[in-house]
Chains A and B, each alone.
Chain A
Amino acid sequence: MQLPPGITEQGLIQQCKNGDLKHLEMLYKHFYGYAMGVGLRYSNNRDDALEVVNDAFIKAFGDIKNYHADKPFKAWLRRIIVNTAIDRYRKERKYLVNIDLDDAMHIGYQAMVLQQLNANDILKLLDQLPDAHRMVFNLYEIDGYDHNEIAAMMGITASSSRVYLGRAKEKLRMLLQEDKEHERRV
């Protein structure tokens, strides 16, 4: 959502520090898309992503007084969202079922050129990965964590993190390659 004329991000954040709900709502809606983009990568579905995002925003609202304007707000918010998602993953890990990629169904979409993949296509791809692999892929490749950090976050070893990443990338390549061949045949 675009900010109303005359209101800057920093000005809005400053207003939010006063706890005004109207400005908090404006901030939420302004960064909602970005936040969902992060949340979706770490969640199995949109509802879970929204829950992660909202929990992260609540944390952010509670701590916005400590936010310093010299840092980008998006980076600060993303940090909170990722941590919230990891918290959720850790809590629900025992309920998650890791499916083997070999048993997973193929994606089946037609847009096989990498650059043509939209968000939904990517999410479908990521959904084919086991949760742990997906987490590691997101954390390492997209959000820039190293394997030691990932190990600490997820309660696994750094070597496991490397293995998960390797498998995730390999399976993503395989999925995309298979679908590309499927497109050629069609």
Chain B
Amino acid sequence: MSEEFDKRLKDHITDVFDNYEGSSADAGWALLREKYPEKDKKRPVAWWWFGVAAGLLLILGIALWLNTGEKTTQALKQITSAKLPHRDTNADRIVAQPSPATNSGKAVPTGESAGATELADARTTRQNGEGNAARAPYFRHRKLAREVASSKGNASSIDKDEQPESLIVNNNTSHPLSNNDTESIRTGMAANKPVILAKNDTATGIKTDSAASLKKVIASVDQKKTATTGKKLTLSVFVSGYNSYANNSNNNFNSGAGVGTDIALSKSFKLSTGLGLFQNKFNYDPTSSNVYYTAPSGAGSGSSGTGGVGSPGSYSSSSVAYYADQLALEVPLKLSLQVSKRGNNIAVGISSAIYASEKHRQTFSAVNLNTTTQVSTSTSTDVVTQTYFSTFAFAKSLDLSAGFGYQLGKNRIVLEPFVKIPFNSLGRSDLRYGSIGTSLRFAFGAGK
């Protein structure tokens, strides 16, 4: 009884609504026209802003990077020129050769009070060979010598056979060495090494060939050099491989690549940003119990042309597969804590993204069996939607990463496991997904 009633009710509802006459088609069309065709009035503007910002960031990064490199060269030149007395202007310079006393272990005092002995020695030196004083001094530190030679463009001016244990420090008042340097040299002098003093110098006009002090000088120079060249901005390129996961979707391996930049905020903290292109693909298995989309049973069974669904004498089953493919331009902004000089770090930040491409495909498959004729038909239909630059998501995800650095010459390779936790649903179709994976980053000039 009730079954018959249900059937009558169902048939009546089907009949009523299959022949439903809408009276407001014009109003409906007007409403639809507000959405279709999709108007991209604001999106190009947003995209242009985004592009300009990314471009400026890159240009700024490159400029800073190049500028930092130039400063490094200039600083090096300044240091080396300070080491190298000018041949024509040091006529007043008095060079003291190592005296037997100093060689025998007595410390040589510095300053004007001790000048008499050294002045005498210096006269001796000048008498013994003007050429020695006129020639460029020998730098035991060959690297420094090469730098001097290259900076002066006169490698031949360095005589490797002369004064093998001496270093001349200019007495220029604009001497770049600090009091600390002077102190280190003085300390070195206490080790009874030959010392050459320059005239009119009370603080920094010191020449020494002490190995220890020389090392300290060089270390001091290197320290200055490092301080000068310590890059505030490092460029890098990276590739990423990761697994993306969305609710009810199959896990998919995806990849991405991009450029990045690290801006040093302090000794320990860096601000990292960049621009990356990341792909996220998702497959929703129709056999899953939580498939988002499915197809009506017998959707294709209307071979009679009536669209009769579930009509007596027919059996149908259908399934649908859902597939999403998103290509996102991401701008991460992370704060990283440097935990070692090798580049090991931990970082936390956010990522914003504009979706360059979003493709969604629903594949409907239906098998219809006409129980009367025992003829089965199968149909498959794809519904594809694709949009470009239609969605921008600010702070779409929380990014956590750890970096493990390896020196590679002047550069550095950093292995970065990461996890991205979504703040909200993402993209045009509001998929909520996260990812976990690893990046391999090549940082230019980030090595020691």
What is the interface of chain A, defined by CB distance below 8 A to chain B?
Answer: 1, 21, 25, 28-29, 32-38, 40-41, 50, 53-55, 57-59, 61-63, 66, 68, 71-72, 74-76, 78-80, 82-83, 86-87, 90-91, 114-115, 117-119, 122, 141-146, 149, 151-153, 155, 157, 169, 172-173, 176
Partner of B302, one of A28, A55, A72, A122: A72
Which parts of B28-82 form the interface with A (CB within 8 Å)?
28-29, 31-32, 35-37
Closest Cβ neighbor of B384 among chain A residues: A63
User: What are 13 contact pairs spanning A and B, CB under 8 A?
Assistant: A21-B37, A28-B32, A32-B28, A50-B24, A62-B385, A80-B383, A114-B8, A115-B8, A143-B297, A145-B297, A152-B286, A153-B294, A173-B2
Interface 0/1 of B100-128, CB less than 8 Å to A: 00000000000000000000000000000
Asked whether A145 lies within 8 Å of B383 as measured between CB atoms, the reply is no
Tell me, in angstroms, the Cα distance from A119 to B22 when the chains sit together: 11
- Residues of A within 8 Å of B20, CB to CB, are 33-34, 36-37, 40, 119
* Nearest CB on A from B201, distance (A): 81
Name, among B317, B379, B381, B385, the residue most crowded by chain A CB atoms within 10 Å (CB to CB).
Answer: B381
Closest Cβ neighbor of A91 among chain B residues: B430
Asked whether A50 lies within 8 Å of B28 as measured between CB atoms, the reply is yes
B12 within 8 A of A: yes
- Residues of A within 8 Å of B10, CB to CB, are 141-142
Partner of B25, one of A1, A66, A169: A1
Asked whether B25 lies within 8 Å of A71 as measured between CB atoms, the reply is no
How many B residues face the partner with a CB closer than 8 A?
Answer: 61
- Residues of B within 8 Å of A50, CB to CB, are 24, 28, 31
- Residues of B within 8 Å of A176, CB to CB, are 9
Asked whether A119 lies within 8 Å of B310 as measured between CB atoms, the reply is no
Tell me, in angstroms, the Cα distance from A152 to B14 when the chains sit together: 23
Asked whether B13 lies within 8 Å of A57 as measured between CB atoms, the reply is no
B85 within 8 A of A: no
Tell me, in angstroms, the Cα distance from A55 to B31 when the chains sit together: 10
Interface 0/1 of B343-369, CB less than 8 Å to A: 000000000000000000010100000
* Nearest CB on A from B419, distance (A): 26
- Residues of B within 8 Å of A74, CB to CB, are 302, 307
Asked whether B8 lies within 8 Å of A144 as measured between CB atoms, the reply is no
Asked whether B300 lies within 8 Å of A75 as measured between CB atoms, the reply is yes
Partner of A149, one of B24, B307, B318, B385: B318
Asked whether B17 lies within 8 Å of A38 as measured between CB atoms, the reply is yes
Tell me, in angstroms, the Cα distance from A68 to B317 when the chains sit together: 20
Asked whether B297 lies within 8 Å of A146 as measured between CB atoms, the reply is yes
Asked whether A90 lies within 8 Å of B297 as measured between CB atoms, the reply is no
- Residues of A within 8 Å of B362, CB to CB, are 83
B299 within 8 A of A: yes
- Residues of B within 8 Å of A157, CB to CB, are 289
- Residues of A within 8 Å of B319, CB to CB, are 149
Tell me, in angstroms, the Cα distance from A87 to B302 when the chains sit together: 24
Partner of A151, one of B12, B289, B379: B289
- Residues of A within 8 Å of B2, CB to CB, are 169, 173
B21 within 8 A of A: yes
Tell me, in angstroms, the Cα distance from A32 to B31 when the chains sit together: 13
Q: Check A72/B305 contact, CB under 8 A, given A29-B25, A83-B293.
A: yes
B92 within 8 A of A: no
Q: Check A33/B21 contact, CB under 8 A, given A63-B385, A79-B364, A152-B288.
A: yes
- Residues of B within 8 Å of A79, CB to CB, are 295-296, 299, 364, 381
